[in-house]
Amino acid sequence: MVSLQVFFAVFSWVVVCQTAPVQFINSDAVNWLKTFGYLKKGNSTVELKEYQNALKRLQSVYEIPVTGEVDLQTEIVMLSPRCGNPDEEVTSMLSNGREKDQSKIKKRYVKSSSKWNKNDISYKISQYSSQLPVETQRNIIRLAFMTWEEVTPLTFYESTNQDADTEIGFYIGDHNDGSPFTKGIIAHAFLPDNKAFSGDVHVNEANRIVTDPNGNGYYLLSVMIHEIGHTLGLEHSLDKGAMMYHAYGTRTTLSADDIAGIQALYLQKSNSPSSYDVIYNKNDIIYLVKGERVFRQHVSGGSSEEFHLSQLLPNNLERIDAATVIGENVIFITGDQLWKFEDGLFLAHSYPTSLSSINIPGGQVDTMFAIPSESSLYFFRGNSYYRLGGGELVVDSPRLISEKFGSSVAGSDAAFAHNSDIIFVKGTLCYSYDTVTGSTNGPHDFSIDMDFTKCGSIQLLVSPLLIATSVVLRFVFS
């Protein structure tokens, strides 16, 4: 209890004139309450009532007797090491719910209003701790990210770029972010809110950091998992067993409350790939191919079914590099071979044929798609495209992709027609090329709900143009 005595000794007491009995506002307690979100930071004077209410909220959050005074248990709370992020949102949740009817509050996590609008998040360790080997720190930080990666669609990768999404650093005292470290603060982190320190994690290097949960110091893995939770958009939880509980602990597994919180922000982890080799659209059923895995789903998302490539390809093709649909026929490219399956099943007469036989030199292409309204087939390779119209290569091929479709769609993994748009897919992003206006829009991230209709420029209920011209295209390869 030496530290408690020191704490009492440094307290400066301010007498507030009230009718008897005389009560006190403790300025160190006021600072603590301001630091952790129980009192507004800007207010220079604090009313006694306001102060007592702040103490009551703190006592309620920490589940100690609600006295509205700085009693011994409250002193202990104020001396306990903890995360530097405030409990602001937790206390407002408490006043909205738990105080009224505790039984109605099932979720105890608090998600902020900010989150990353993408699934691939980069991190950079800007300043290492001097207390542990660099490799040890890198491994622990990677493990901490993996803990969140396991339950979300998010992936994290270490980067050395200046503009990494999350910067991690170990600092002492005032480190120029407006939130100087004091001894009891273990670390703090910033929500992903596009401000200066968005998504960053700072650890207090003045404290002893250890790699053993039973060691004499703060267990870095536990600290990092908690702080990363903030960088993803979670605030403190009221659940004592949660990683996101404000007080320090050595836990390293996410509680059900943590998982519910993060999945409310980012949905559940799907085992879907983060990029696809080929995507094609047959009557608004989308086929997504990644290596030998094929996923089939509606264009607007929802549940998908997975099967093996061999179940899709009638002739035992081992892989496909590009595919498109013309009417009821599906065309695949593997290497420099082009295969046409009538009604999606029967290999058409005189197929396979080589790309060179239709005057596309040099073998393999990246992407193929049809624009029914033009009766054209397009083949992308690098920054150029070849166009086939009426069964013949158009004389001006190849041309630059940027000239017709805009530079953003060059290098697309896949492309397919939907309504009057061509949807281009690059990783988890999609762009739409409006074949009516000739404009390109995007990008949108489709990976959150796999809804490709959000990629489109307009939503058409029926597309008579598509149906009529698909008949014309049926004869392109006949």
Site residues (CB under 5 A) for Zn ion?
Answer: 83, 85, 177, 202
Q: How far apart are CA 250 and CA 187, in angstroms?
A: 14
Nearest approach, Cβ of residue 269 and Zn ion (Å): 23
Nearest approach, Cβ of residue 236 and Zn ion (Å): 6
Nearest approach, Cβ of residue 138 and Zn ion (Å): 20
Nearest approach, Cβ of residue 85 and Zn ion (Å): 4
Nearest approach, Cβ of residue 199 and Zn ion (Å): 12
Residue nearer to Zn ion on the CB measure, 35 or 463: 35
Q: How far apart are CA 373 and CA 393, in angstroms?
A: 17
Residue nearer to Zn ion on the CB measure, 202 or 418: 202
Residue nearer to Zn ion on the CB measure, 191 or 401: 191
Which residue from 243, 221, 200 is spatially nearest to 144, judged by alpha carbons? 221
CB-based contacts of 145, cutoff 8 Å, min separation 6: 123, 156, 228
Q: Which residues are annotated as a binding site?
A: 83, 165, 175, 177, 188, 200, 202, 226, 230, 236, 244, 277, 279, 321, 323, 413
Is 318 part of the annotated catalytic residue set? no
Q: How far apart are CA 146 and CA 259, in angstroms?
A: 13
Helices 27-35, 48-61: axis angle to 10 degrees equals: 60
Q: How far apart are CA 43 and CA 32, in angstroms?
A: 14
| Under 8 Å between Cβ of 153 and 270 | yes
Residue nearer to Zn ion on the CB measure, 249 or 273: 249
Q: How far apart are CA 29 and CA 74, in angstroms?
A: 9
Residue nearest to Zn ion (CB): 83
Rg (the chain; Cα; Å): 30
Query: Which residue of the set 227, 292, 318, 374 is catalytic?
Result: 227
Estimate to the nearest angstrom the gap between the alpha carbon of 379 and the chain centroid. Answer: 32
φ, ψ at 156 (rounded to 5°)? -120, 140
Nearest approach, Cβ of residue 247 and Zn ion (Å): 9
Q: How far apart are CA 32 and CA 12, in angstroms?
A: 13
Q: How far apart are CA 354 and CA 367, in angstroms?
A: 16
Q: Which residues are annotated as a binding site for Zn(2+)?
A: 83, 175, 177, 188, 202, 226, 230, 236, 244
Q: How far apart are CA 47 and CA 67, in angstroms?
A: 17
Which residue from 329, 391, 321 is spatially nearest to 360, judged by alpha carbons? 391
Q: How far apart are CA 287 and CA 277, in angstroms?
A: 11
Catalytic (active-site) positions: 227
